[in-house]
Structure 1
């Protein structure tokens, strides 16, 4: 794949090392930049609207090497409740996703589908309680249904079917959402996983259900296309939560993912530059790569203001590039800054800081 910016005269800009082509888990990309998944509510009835294809294409046209879609619900009744969040199901949704994939490919980009189940965050509509590992009632949340072994089998088939649909739609990769306190992450988190069977207890056993999802997806998705797992310590409702208190516990979890067939890991932090554990400067993505040897993506408050593009401390572009150059992680995901700035990479590559709009919360209500 040809890099978009190789002929630019301003290759000495700090961001330049991130603009070169790279191969990630066997997938050739135009740059090291990833678009992080962000729910956009433009899929009535679970079917991506026509404008969704253009939305993702614009980011690919401006140098994002890998698009990761917003979270897409697997086709199970308990996966989610909002009517405008997309699903990965056969029929109209699959056809619409094919249009999205074709538009991204036409722009020279690659695209991964993020497969998602809300878990306890699903509202109890349609007479269905949310599915959770142990039925733990979290503060401010309604009662939930503790999953049985039969439920787990049913869930695995839903993920397998979603992988089949994603493959037919032409996605270059899939990402399994096992972060931020949603269902798969609830199995990883000791607070919500109180099970005493093979899916609870030690870090390895808490990882068993997400790993079974990895195996189910891997078995149905083409072997030459990556299966990525997104994970985190923090939860949307508990920033101080941890699935692993030590690198050894993280190793136990991530090794189970790797053995199940994960091709790469997407380590979500609130701030990408912060150390994951005391006593080491390594980030969560850095630990993931060191422990498993798998390629990794970092994400967390990258580029939210123009000041990021001015050389500075560890939270700046220079600190980010230093970590990439050292091999700490491989790809860099941009999230909220892309909501209002689809051409962020183009402007950053040209040093056009004045063309970039600093992120504001109101941008989440826009669709450019």
Structure 2
């Protein structure tokens, strides 16, 4: 005779193991009303509803096994979902083997990489939270060692591929770094298909959200910049030429993912090279691009900056990237596209007051709709819970932790 196990806790639905359902999800405001900061109010991106405005930004961990995520990632990423982050985005995930930043980077270029990603999705879903993935190609900045080894090239002896780097033009990242091969048109078309294929695998792995990495000096942002893209064909020269790869990828991915799945693009709003007086990728060009992306089915623009040129000169202050996000958001509203695409802000969001103020509803003066946070979550995985306490917001916390 089979004895049915009785439990006072309803199990989380749709996952292949028992865990108590977190209903409502951790991080949900329990006493909603006009006094609750926007930070703890829901937001909807297509068919995806987030119970608060906290997003775990993608963070490279250099801990994958031939592109396959491991139990290390399950624990690392699961910790944020357990503690109330509404959306956790898996680190930059390469769409081709040579698109990894390091030999230990996450990848999604083959079907065997789906299952370990699915395991992470199942856990995050078991906590009532959402999970996304950032699809990427590192371009000329590929084949380097993990960050704790310093900014060094990974040679063949450690699984690197310095002789097989891609770029829009044959321009090395810096002195002492290998020169990438200028991509052929066939390779560019193959790259677009690789993003499309990885997006399909993302859906199979249970992802709720996909982000295309178009920032930080990796391949797509190399195409955007007139400094690193000196092509004379249809993929270079004009603004239209330099943005073509990104737009082709966006269109390809949007066509193969569910209609209700949100699509995001991360951009470097400026490459911080204006001081040279020469053409570069600037906030004005990013704003122009944002207006196009809003019409292409992009639901969130994740606004970062820099990292495409070692000679960059950043103007750093608390809101140095947040203000650029606000500028783009205001431009979208003025163009009548404010409802088409949300804006995410990143950088130096490391305290409760900043997180609150960035997304607080102030009409067309609101800086952003979501905060994407990385380093502060590493310092404090419980940042959502701590922020709620500091702001006087009563939220749902993990059932298993109530005794504390």
The TM-score bracket by the shorter chain reads 0.7 to 0.9
The answer to whether 1:257 aligns with 2:257 is: no
1:103-141 C-alpha deviation (Å, 9 max, x unpaired): 111111111110010001013744633111111234323
Instruction: Tell me the number of residue pairs that the alignment of Structure 1 and Structure 2 aligns.
Output: 337
The answer to whether 1:67 aligns with 2:114 is: no
* 1:98 aligned residue: 118
> What does 1:1-368 correspond to in 2, within 5 Å?
2=24, 4-7=27-30, 16-74=37-95, 76-80=96-100, 82-123=102-143, 125-126=160-161, 128-140=163-175, 141-235=177-271, 244-245=281-282, 247=284, 249-269=285-305, 273-274=319-320, 282-284=326-328, 286-287=330-331, 292-293=337-338, 294-303=341-350, 308-309=351-352, 316-317=354-355, 319-322=357-360, 326-351=365-390
Aligned residues of 1:10 and 1:350 also touching (Cα < 8 A):
no
- 2: distance between equivalents of 1:147 and 1:42? 28
Q: Secondary structure at the match of 1:180?
A: coil
Q: Secondary structure at the match of 1:89?
A: coil
- 123-132 or 187-196, larger mean C-alpha shift: 123-132
- 1: distance between equivalents of 2:299 and 2:356? 28
Q: 1:31 Cα shift?
A: 0.6
Q: Which has the larger radius of gyration?
A: 2
Aligned residues of 1:73 and 1:115 also touching (Cα < 8 A):
yes
- 2: distance between equivalents of 1:302 and 1:276? 9
The RMSD of aligned alpha carbons is 3.1
Aligned residues of 1:18 and 1:32 also touching (Cα < 8 A):
yes
Q: 1:25 to 1:243 in 2, by over 3 A?
A: farther
Aligned residues of 1:273 and 1:320 also touching (Cα < 8 A):
no
- 177-186 or 81-90, larger mean C-alpha shift: 81-90
- Unaligned 5+ segments in structure 2 are 1-22, 144-154, 306-315, 393-404
- 2: distance between equivalents of 1:151 and 1:89? 15
Q: 1:290 to 1:134 in 2, by over 3 A?
A: farther
Aligned residues of 1:132 and 1:146 also touching (Cα < 8 A):
yes
Aligned residues of 1:289 and 1:296 also touching (Cα < 8 A):
no
Q: 1:233 to 1:197 in 2, by over 3 A?
A: same
Aligned residues of 1:35 and 1:334 also touching (Cα < 8 A):
yes
- 1: distance between equivalents of 2:32 and 2:322? 37
Aligned residues of 1:78 and 1:128 also touching (Cα < 8 A):
no
- 1: distance between equivalents of 2:368 and 2:296? 21
Q: 1:109 to 1:271 in 2, by over 3 A?
A: farther
Q: 1:213 to 1:57 in 2, by over 3 A?
A: same
